[in-house]
């Protein structure tokens, strides 16, 4: 299904992200055009037969495949080190499809408790309707995970770094645990992106993404993908082809362009985040700063082992609890107040009153969400302006 035009043998991230490209058309375009078409014509009856019989590769109908989406997926496979993949209309359709395509009634899934909110809803509210049961694993107690695996456990789903507490899971260890028990390991790699971390290189079976975040990185599209080995993706592609969570070619086109700049954007996100984390750690109005590449992070060594840099998210606790946290957020002049992340614009979120407001104080504390906890998705503005906004917001929201 792929039409690489990269003639040189390169393994470099930047080159693969830029030079992997759909075959040129008769117009000899330099940059890949947009293929806004719902279907493709057959050359003759024999070609149509062979395409439908899966004897040859080619586009039939955009619900199945499209040159823009193929280019996006081929890049993602090369960047993550996987054999094959499927593009989806959102991160959530990627998570759902990766589970629904491979699990059946009577199966059991284990997931880390610290996962994205809607993934939590799929596992606890939707899959059980079809007789798929679940258990939750505590990210702070990996030594207890093996005991959660049952004879009917088919999949183990995790996110690392976790949201918003930025705890890490050792991917090499996790991959081995799943192999030992012959269960499918599924890692949502949205926070790290393929630039910082490649779960497949640690033996992980499925790598899922919300491409809405850093992969687009400019707050324009909703999209996702599922990547893995040929056998698993074959089953997932069958499910997706017939149930239809397809990505629009326009979004596939945007994402393939976005990947061309992912490395420079992530370098800068991480550089700004590192400086912000170091700045906050020195501030006496801040209780605690969490960032994987701070030596004070309890898993700093693991972060260095499996992540190229520390990522674009920083979380910290302002002194003064819930009220101060709220006042602090209201005082920002530059930062956007939004629940999103992975944008050129710096975004501040107060999990206790937004994304995690439905939990009780005790439940929030159990996943590390203190009342004064603030999550910053560090953008690409000048670092001096980012630090200045924090400084003025701290002053304006002085403790009462
Ligand atoms: C945003 C997000 C998702 C969901 O992705 P959508 O593109 O919004 O559907 C899944 N996982 C993580 C970690 C996310 O941040």
Q: What is the pLDDT of residue 354?
A: 83
pLDDT at 400: 66
Question: With a 6 A CB cut-off, is 222 part of the ligand 1 pocket?
Answer: yes
Residue 260: C-alpha distances to residues 98, 129, 163, 189 (Å) = 26, 41, 26, 18
How many angstroms is it from 223 CA to the middle of ligand 1?
9
- According to the model, what pLDDT value does residue 367 have? 75
CB 39 within 8 A of CB 61: yes
What is the reported pLDDT for 358? 74
**Ligand 1 atom index nearest CA of 159:** 13
From the list 58, 14, 195, 18, the residue with the least C-alpha distance to 5 is 18
Share of the chain residues as helix, strand and coil, in percent rounded to the nearest 5? 40, 15, 45
Instruction: Report pLDDT for 4.
Output: 56
Burial label, 300 (beta-carbon count in 10 A; 0-12, 13-18, 19+) = middle
pLDDT at 323: 85
For ligand 1, pick from 114, 118, 162, 186 the residue to mutate: most ligand atoms within 8 Å of CB. 118
Q: Could you tell me the strand order of the sheet in which 286-290 lies?
A: 286-290, 313-318, 373-377, 347-349, 336-337
In this predicted structure, the answer to whether residue 350 has a pLDDT above a threshold of 50 is yes
Q: How far apart are the C-alpha atoms of 47 and 149, rounded to whole Å?
A: 47
Q: Band of the pLDDT at 361, cuts 50, 70, 90?
A: confident
Flag the least confident range among 212-216, 272-276, 295-299, 360-364: 360-364
The DSSP code sequence of 55-115 is: SS----BTTT--HHHHHHHHHHHHHHT-SEEEEESSHHHHHHHHHHTT--TT-EEEEESSS
Element (H, E) at 318: strand 313-318
pLDDT at residue 366, rounded to an integer? 76
Average pLDDT over residues 347-372: 82
Å from CA of 104 to ligand 1 middle? 24
Which of 91, 162, 167, 222 is the best mutation target for the ligand 1 pocket, counting ligand atoms within 8 Å of the beta carbon and taking the most? 91
Taking the CA of residue 190 as reference, the ligand 1 atom at the shortest distance is 13
Question: Is residue 312's pLDDT more than 60?
Answer: yes
Question: Best of 167, 199, 210 to mutate for ligand 1, by most ligand atoms within 8 A of CB?
Answer: 210
Range 263-398 has CATH code 3.90.1150.10: yes
- Predicted local confidence at residue 73, as pLDDT: 97
What pLDDT is stored for residue 143 in this prediction? 97
Q: How far is Cα 269 from Cα 267, in angstroms, rounded to an integer? A: 6
What does the DSSP 8-state code read for residue 154?
A: E
- Among 69-73, 186-190, 321-325, 379-383, which stretch is predicted with the lowest mean pLDDT? 321-325
> Mean of the pLDDT values across residues 194-205?
98
Mean pLDDT for all residues in the chain? 94
Q: What are phi and psi of 292, to 5 degrees?
A: -55, -30
Which of the four pLDDT bands, split at 50, 70 and 90, describes residue 94?
A: very high
Q: Does 87 sit in the ligand 1 pocket, CB within 6 Å? A: no
Does ligand 1 lie within 6 Å of residue 214's CB atom? no
Distance CA 312, CA 122 (A): 26
Q: Is the CB of residue 159 below 6 angstroms from any atom belonging to ligand 1?
A: yes
CA of 92 to the centre of ligand 1 (A): 6
pLDDT at residue 2 tops 60: no
| Alpha carbon of 260 to ligand 1 centroid (Å) | 21
Q: Whose CA is nearest to atom 7 of ligand 1?
A: 91
Region 17-31: mean pLDDT is 92
Residue 133 main-chain phi, psi, to 5 deg: -95, 165
Cβ of 190 closer than 6 Å to ligand 1, yes or no, is yes
Considering the chain, what percentage of its residues have pLDDT values greater than 90? 85
Residue 162 Cβ contacting ligand 1 at under 6 Å: no
pLDDT confidence of residue 398:
82
- Give pTM, 2 decimals: 0.95
Is 91 close to ligand 1, i.e. is its CB under 6 Å away? yes
Angle subtended at Cα 119 by Cα 77 and Cα 217, rounded to the nearest 5 degrees: 50
pLDDT at 1 over 50: no
User: In the structure encoding, which two tokens stand for residue 296, read together?
Assistant: 């004070």
Tell the residue nearest (CA) to atom 4 of ligand 1: 91
Q: Is the CB of 116 under 6 A from ligand 1?
A: yes
How far apart are the C-alpha atoms of 59 and 56, rounded to whole Å?
Answer: 10
Q: Are 51 and 42 in contact (CB under 8 A)?
A: yes
Contact (CB, 8 A) for 223 and 88: yes
C-alpha distances in Å from residue 123, one per residue of 52, 102, 156, 185, 235 = 34, 14, 11, 15, 20
Q: From the CB of 122, is ligand 1 less than 6 Å away?
A: no
In which band, very low, low, confident or very high, does the pLDDT at 352 lie, cut at 50, 70 and 90? confident
CA of 210 to the centre of ligand 1 (A): 5
The ranges assigned to domains in the chain are 13-259, 263-398
Region 293-303 average pLDDT: 98
Specify the CATH class of 13-259 in words: alpha beta
| Residue whose CA lies nearest to ligand 1 atom number 6 | 91
For 54, 121, 122, 134, the CA distances from 128, given in Å and listed in that order, are: 34, 10, 9, 8
Confidence of residue 369 (pLDDT cuts 50, 70, 90): confident
Whether 347 lines ligand 1, by a CB cut-off of 6 Å, is: no
* pLDDT band, very low/low/confident/very high, at 79 (cuts 50, 70, 90): very high
Question: pLDDT, tens digit, for every residue of 144-161?
Answer: 999 999 999 999 999 999
The closest-lying atom of ligand 1 relative to the alpha carbon of residue 191 is: 13
């Amino acid at each position: 299904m792929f039409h690489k035009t990269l003639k040189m043998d390169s393994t470099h991230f930047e080159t693969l992200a830029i030079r992997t490209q759909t075959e040129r058309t008769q117009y000899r375009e330099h940059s890949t055009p947009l293929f806004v078409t719902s279907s493709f014509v057959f050359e003759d009856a024999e070609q149509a037969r062979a395409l439908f019989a899966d004897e040859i590769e080619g586009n039939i109908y955009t619900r199945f495949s499209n040159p823009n989406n193929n280019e996006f997926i081929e890049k993602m496979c090369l960047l993550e080190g996987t054999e094959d993949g499927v593009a989806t209309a959102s991160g959530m359709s990627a998570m759902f499809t990766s589970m629904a395509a491979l699990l059946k009634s009577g199966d059991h899934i284990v997931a880390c408790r610290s996962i994205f909110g809607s993934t939590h809803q799929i596992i606890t509210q939707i899959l059980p309707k079809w007789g798929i049961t679940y258990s939750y694993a505590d990210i702070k107690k990996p030594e207890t995970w093996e005991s959660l695996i049952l004879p009917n456990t088919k999949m183990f789903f995790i996110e690392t770094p976790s949201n918003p507490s930025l705890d890490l899971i050792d991917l090499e260890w996790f991959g081995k645990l799943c192999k030992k028990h012959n269960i499918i390991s599924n890692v949502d790699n949205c926070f790290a992106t393929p630039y910082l971390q490649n779960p497949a290189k640690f033996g992980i079976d499925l790598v899922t993404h919300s491409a809405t975040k850093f992969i687009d990185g400019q707050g324009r599209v909703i999209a996702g993908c599922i990547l893995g080995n040929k056998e698993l993706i074959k089953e997932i592609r069958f499910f997706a082809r017939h149930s239809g969570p397809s990505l629009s070619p326009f979004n596939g086109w945007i994402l393939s362009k976005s990947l061309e700049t992912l490395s420079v954007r992530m370098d800068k996100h991480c550089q700004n985040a590192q400086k912000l984390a170091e700045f906050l750690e020195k501030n006496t109005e801040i209780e605690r700063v969490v960032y994987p590449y701070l030596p004070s992070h309890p898993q700093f060594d693991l972060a260095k082992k499996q992540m190229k840099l520390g990522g674009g998210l920083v979380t910290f606790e302002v002194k003064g609890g819930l009220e101060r946290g709220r006042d602090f957020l209201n005082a920002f002049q530059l930062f956007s107040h939004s629940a999103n992340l992975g944008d050129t614009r710096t975004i501040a979120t107060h999990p206790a009153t937004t994304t995690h407001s439905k939990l009780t104080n005790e439940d929030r504390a159990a996943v590390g969400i203190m009342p004064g906890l603030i999550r910053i998705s560090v953008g690409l503005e000048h670092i001096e302006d980012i630090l200045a906004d924090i400084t003025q917001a701290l002053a304006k929201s002085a403790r009462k």
